[in-house]
Structure 1
Amino acid sequence: MEEDERKEKEKEKQRIWSWGAGTDGQLGTGSLQDHTLPQLLHLPSVASPISSLACGGAHVMALTSGGKVLTWGRGSSGQLGLGEVVSYALNPKPVTSLDDYFITRVSAGWSHSAFVSDSGCLFTCGDGSFGQLGHGDHTSHCSPVRVTCFVDHFIAQIACGMRHSIVLLKGSSTNQVYGFGSGKRGQLGISKDKIKSIGVPEVISELEDKEIVEVAANGDHSAAISFGGHLYMWGRGFKGVADAHSPQRINSSLRFAKAALGWNHALALTGEGEGFMLGGNHLGVLTDPQSLDSAKQLPVNIKEGNLEKVPGLNGVKIVDVAAGAEHSALVTENREIKTWGWGEHGQLGLGDSCDQTSPLTVSLGCELDEAESIRVFCGSGFTYALTMPYNTSLQ
């Protein structure tokens, strides 16, 4: 009874905001409009609070602490997992076909979705035309289908890129990383040769001895973090950097805890709360205008890193980072949200559609309770903020 009462209090306190592109219903506001300022949402009641979100090209997945999933936004490829193809869903709907499973992880690609259960099962749905669903073919599905090639394995994590997927398997002695889907820019990390696409997951052999604990994907990029905090990246090269068809370790003594990938940039967060940027200079990805001239001189090797520290924080630690197609967001230890980059659809939440080359503070229009923490999530042109109690376990 006490546990039920605690969950009810958490649900009552939880708040979710969205802003940016909304023309496919991905903001959850009940309309098909862009919003340049954060909108406080009134989502349908669920049995337990939302613990995490995943934002794709124009759809959103909400994972509850009770293992259930809600989806909304664009559904034209079946990526909402609702059993039918819909142009869009204005309001969150439950993925009922997974009711017999306790889902612990979700990930959203451009137009495909993936779900991992507490028993290590992997399910995918949506666009399968590049093999990104992992079923060995190029068929699309409007309901989640179990990826049978992993039936004898335990899936720990899934990360969906634009048209590819990266899976982390947890083994008894080591963790293995697999890739499937589009691979022409090297984002699968399985071969030095250009691979158009594969539908059957293949192991990334160069990571087999690295003890990988986290994976990430977006656009034509992939990343992994090892137990020791080493960051590996592969796929489409950022500006001035060649494509990497196998994982390349970022040459840094820093110990990384999280990586967030955009289409032309990446963010990396250390365990000490320092944030770094990696990538080109398009639409404010690099914050220093002087770097626009020097970018042509960047070495053409991802191993060099080209890391630039996120400026303007005056020593304040970062607790969360997220990357959209061409914009970035972070949360400071003071629970401030800051955004920068591409702003055409209002995805920076600053009240306009301007691009920004430096992180600026987003106003949510209210104060946060001392017992609340906050996280940020980015889709291709939109942003979400989610509050939760400090003691809530996060995806």
Structure 2
Amino acid sequence: MNGGEEGGGGGGGGEEMEEDGREAMVVEVAEDERREKTVLMWGYLPGVSPQRSPLLHPVPVRMPDLQAGDRWRDVSGGGCGFAMAISDPMNTYNFRETGKLFTWGSTDDMGQSYVTSGKHEETPEVFDLPTEVPIVTAAAGWAHCVAVTAQGDVYTWGWKECVPTGRITRDQPSAGTSEKEERHGGFLSDQVSPRSQGSRTTGSGFDSKVGDENTKRRRISSVKVGPESSSSGDEALSAPPCLVTLNVEVRISIVAAGGRHTLALSACFKIIGVTNANALHLQSSDAGQVWGWGYGGEGQLGLGTRIRNVSSPHPVPCLESASFSKERSSSATKGKQDGQSYKLIGSSVKTIACGGRHSAVVTDTGVLLTFGWGLYGQCGQGSTDDELSPTCVSSLLGLKIQRVAAGLWHTICTSIDGAVYSFGGNQFGQLGTGSDQAETLPKLLDHPCLENKNAEVVSCGARHSAMMTVKNFQFQRLETSLSDVNVLPFQKDGQVFCWGWNKYGQLGLGDAIDRNSPSLVPLENHRPKNVLCGWWHTLALAESPT
């Protein structure tokens, strides 16, 4: 926590100490950026391993020789059969000046012609986007991707219903849905939510194992990009990169990609003047607005109704229409009755997450809101109902939630003091609670291996989870032009833990045995800086051993 927040009333001396702290933090950030980074990967990506065998241990991902002037900047989460990471130039130490987007891992027979670079090899390739502006962050869903530039613009590509076209389809799929639509749309339907048909859900499917994973792998298109491509077959189901149209003042800082939907968190700016050098002066306005598009049949877009497809970005009324669940706490009830619920929830959204068919956001007051599919309790409301509008997870009120991640059927969040809470489906131990019992309310992870450790990063794959911890860290916050960047200036003893489904070695533990509690991943003296889960794989950004 900033010294200025606790003891800012000490006059000039306090201001000097705060300024010294900021300078020390910036110096530490600069030093951190100079250190060589490595991307480590484990799990399964088609086309990466010989005979398509999984990687059971963390393996360094090689930067292409043609990109020798670049270095790894960060890793991106998500991706079913493909992975993404971001580089930046070696000759800059500006932590906001990142660069190119790399993709790797998919194969032609998986049909991901618009998801990866098309090389489909072990070595990452630069993914060409229709912009020269550096990429600062990116995310992947089941079969679509979204990236943000340094100017706050958003590009998206892949599964066509996730690429904005301006149409809105409100009706649900009819009983006569074509075989093609069922084949492509049913990837998340290991068990169809009765709620999506207007019925109340039950917990009968909580502990059922899914069937053969091959039945759930999606095929977007069997055609190849190039002169021989045709418009026949399934090609129409995927789309090349396009710029997402938003209001001219809107700048996006964070994106999240779910099964077939996308959320984007904006930081809006007003043009208030021009200098003699023609440089614009920008003033922040309405920062923290969430935008959503894509499939919304279970309420995962938070628009208050079941909308089959939203093909243009729509504001998600996270704060205006947020409600409390039926299992509301007494403090929440009192706040609602006193007309203070809006103040309790907050004035802006600070971070976002997308799961298979549900979503979660955290507000500036540390309140967690969830919405979407609830069959496994992944909305944390104490029930298995779908939530069509953002709803406060009342059992966490009083804890300032800082981060949130969402998987296919589960959700994980962390509090500002580093505690970890999980809820939702737990068929493979993905909640990390030590059992395979589903949880409809958040449950604290209190495993002995986490004693005296604080969770700094959490991530969810389809059915596995990952966490990066730090020991006795000092938290700082650094303001940037587009978003708040959380910085750990004195991060030491960082470790990565994984748990859940491990059929493809995505836990990095040297075997294919599921784990129902956090297990330490051996990184061979690499110092972790970030960890993110894909569908069947896990990526970590780490400092190389010195």
For the superposition of Structure 1 and Structure 2, which TM-score range results when normalised by the shorter chain? 0.7 to 0.9
- One-letter amino acid of the counterpart of residue 112, structure 1: H
Q: Comparing both structures, which one devotes a greater share of its residues to helix?
A: 2
Counterpart of 2:308?
196
| Equivalent residue, structure 2, for 1:383 | 538
TM-score scaled to structure 2, two decimals? 0.61
1:65-121 per-position Cα deviation (integer Å, ceiling 9, x unaligned): 432111112272444364xxx483432111233451121121111111111112121
User: Based on CA coordinates, which of the two structures has the bigger radius of gyration?
Assistant: 2
- Displacement of 1:290: 6.3
8 Å contact kept, 1:81–1:144: no
Unmatched tracts of structure 1, length 5 or more = 300-304, 390-395
Name the CA distance, whole Å, in 2 between partners of 1:104 and 1:330.
Answer: 22
Q: Kindly state the Cα deviation for residue 291 of structure 1 after the two structures are TM-superposed.
A: 7.3
Matched, 1:161 2:258: yes
Residue 207 of structure 1 and its aligned partner are, at CA, apart by 2.9
Instruction: Tell whether the 8 Å contact from 2:360 to 2:369 is kept in structure 1 after alignment.
Output: yes
Letter in 1 for 2:264: V
Task: Give the TM-score of the pair, scaled to structure 1.
Answer: 0.83
Answer yes or no: is the 8 Å Cα contact 2:62–2:123 preserved in 1. Answer: no
Which residue of 2 is the match for residue 100 of structure 1? 132
- What's the counterpart of residue 23 of structure 1? 46
Whether contact under 8 Å (2:163, 2:239) holds in the other structure is no
Q: Is 2:255–2:262's contact at 8 Å kept on the other side of the alignment? A: yes
- What whole-Å deviation, never above 9, does each CA across 1:251-307 have from its counterpart, x for those lacking one? 221112211111111111222211111213311134445673xx5xx66xxxxx433
Aligned CA distance change for structure 1 residues 284 and 153 (closer, same or farther; 3 Å)? same
C-alpha distance 187-8 of structure 1, shift in aligned 2 (>3 A):
closer
Aligned counterpart, 1:268:
413
CA deviation profile, 1:130-178 (whole Å, cap 9, x unmatched): x312232596555421112444421222111010001112221343212
Q: 2:245 aligns with which of 144, 148, 159?
A: 148
Question: How much has 1:219 moved relative to structure 2?
Answer: 1.0
Pairwise CA RMSD of aligned residues? 2.7
In structure 2, distance between residues paired with 1:19 and 1:81:
19
| Equivalent position of 1:36 in the other structure | 56
Mapped to 2, the partners of 1:184 and 1:74 lie a distance apart of: 28
Corresponding position: 1:73 with 2:105: yes
Per the alignment, residue 153 of structure 2 pairs with 121
Code of the aligned partner of 1:350: L
Q: Which residue of 2 is the match for residue 302 of structure 1?
A: none
Question: Amino acid of the residue matched to residue 58 of structure 2?
Answer: P
User: What residue in structure 2 maps to residue 51 of structure 1?
Assistant: 73
Q: Distance in 1 between matches of 2:147 and 2:306?
A: 28
Of residues 311, 326, 331, the one that matches 2:463 is 326
* C-alpha spacing 1:310/1:200, structure 2 compared with 1 (3 Å): farther
Q: Which of 240, 249, 257 pairs up with 2:392?
A: 249
Cα gap change, 1:286 to 1:42, in 2 (>3 Å) = closer
1:132 aligns with 2:162: yes
Q: Relative to structure 1, is the Cα distance of residues 242 and 283 closer, same or farther in structure 2, using a 3 angstrom cutoff?
A: same
Q: Which residue of 1 aligns with 2:18?
A: none
SS of equivalent residue, structure 1 residue 224: strand
Structure ranking higher in strand proportion: 1
Preserved contact between residue 15 and residue 386 of structure 1 (Cα < 8 Å): yes
Provide closer, same or farther for how the CA distance between residues 79 and 52 of structure 1 changes in structure 2, counting only shifts above 3 A: farther
Is residue 2:367 matched to residue 1:367? Answer: no
**Distance verdict in 2 for CA 1:310–1:47, change over 3 Å:** farther
Count how many residue pairs are aligned between Structure 1 and Structure 2: 361
- C-alpha separation between the residues in 2 aligned to 1:221 and 1:276? 17
Residues 1:367 and 1:254: Cα distance change in structure 2 (over 3 Å):
same
Which amino acid is the alignment partner of residue 418 of structure 2?
Answer: G
Letter in 2 for 1:58: G
**Identity, % of aligned positions:** 28
- Distance (whole Å) between structure 1 residues aligned to residue 302 and residue 126 of structure 2: 34
Structure 1 residues 380 and 329 mapped into 2: Cα distance closer, same or farther (>3 Å)? same
Superposed CA offset, 1:183-208 (max 9, x none): 111111112x3221121222112435
Of residues 503, 506, 509, the one that matches 1:350 is: 509
**CA separation of 1:140/1:31 partners in 2, compared to 1, >3 Å: closer, same or farther?**
same
- Cross-structure match for 1:236: 373
* Partners of 1:291 and 1:8 in 2: CA distance: 40
Matched AA of 2:462: A
Q: Distance in 2 between matches of 1:140 and 1:388?
A: 39
Q: Tell me if the contact between 2:465 and 2:499 (Cα under 8 Å) persists in the aligned partners.
A: yes
Matches within 5 A, 1:164-313: 164-171=261-268, 172-191=285-304, 193-208=305-320, 210-237=347-374, 238-239=376-377, 240-251=383-394, 252=396, 253-288=398-433, 292=437, 305-312=441-448, 313=450
- Distance in 2, matches of 1:30 and 1:42, equals 16
Instruction: Give distance in 2, aligned partners of 1:19 and 1:373.
Output: 14
Residue 224 of structure 1 deviates from its aligned partner by: 1.0
1:329/1:339 contact within 8 Å kept: yes
